[in-house]
Structure 1
């Protein structure tokens, strides 16, 4: 018997690049399967954006993790919150559910890395899963991704309207400190919910924090919050001054770059 043809699977993160890739591939691969790994801790805008994408695609976005979200694995790991050094959230809430969904069949996994970026990160390395990078293959850059989203009517992720630069959990540890304060401004209840996780780790008594070097309680203190906002504004003003000396291509390349703090290439499966 001839080998069965591979399945075609595209993972949506709630970010602009995977959204644009789903729209870009809709007519090219009609049999595409679209999946979203739901941690149960996404922003309200992320869920609304996924619904908008699903409506445009005309087929369901399969939600994984329906029964084992973040809190389940948080308990399994003994109350230790994840960080860039202990990314159990990506492993248990993104990679493993995805690989379980795929099984052992041959699969082409479509990834929205653009031609104008050098990111790498957490993707599956199972031998039956072959990554495909259509944007890189076709030379599509940030301006093209914006055009795809604009022309479709789907638009940019709505959380970008209030300053958030990435998809992922509302308490993602890769957030910049100014983004934490923007979360507090927009969703004070979610900020308070994130603070609850910052408690002593039973194994050692150490307190792990979401934001490097300080707790959310420390970050929100008026004098500290004011300093973070001043620094963010200073960086924004510097970027505006620099824009006059950039080429159009450089402006696009830097438009959604984080204004501060090391991104560390984050988790591709979470953020593209």
Structure 2
């Protein structure tokens, strides 16, 4: 994964005009990203991606425009960090059991935040010669069906994750919904005003998906309630997910970008 500094410079060099940093379960990179975006002339929206679960299905919940020092949110993130450390320790134990000699010290050069995650472990496995690429490391060792994988612990319900973001003054958006097969639930959450929008424009959404989620979101809107139709590339690194994928592979329509920025900058009072 790229550091916030590397990511912002890549965004600027690619001509991106609006960006959000939505690291999983951490706000650590936001201050640096905001400063660098200002220097490079990019409009910045602070973000996060909270890990959640619905009846065994992992669901990611994006947060935008929240108060980063929120005690409620930071207390939850501290708890998640502790669980992530325990999970990584167990994954390293599984590696050892499967003859993959990797330690926490081997991960250190690749960790860009405070907590090691699977992409960092995958990079270490490539460096140590156990895998030919990050994709290969996920497929052979750390992917969800691979021998060294350990399930996440105690993930919250998506609506609980959304509530944490909203309590911090932010807007909660369901990320890449095409992954989940939960369209009926998503429509209900939108209608019940429990979430603030949907990531309509994503690299894995085909035209029919985008049209469906756009219509679903617009059907739940009212004159007094704006719902967000956001977009993102889910970009981590050129070698993560799709080899050679470039920044900007998925583009949010300009009018939606302006609408999102204006609404988020205005705060939850709208």
Band of TM-score, shorter chain: under 0.3
Structure having greater relative contact order (Cα 8 Å, sep ≥ 6):
1
TM-score with structure 1 setting the length? 0.24
TM-score, with structure 2 as normaliser: 0.24
Task: Name the structure where strand makes up a greater proportion of residues.
Answer: 2
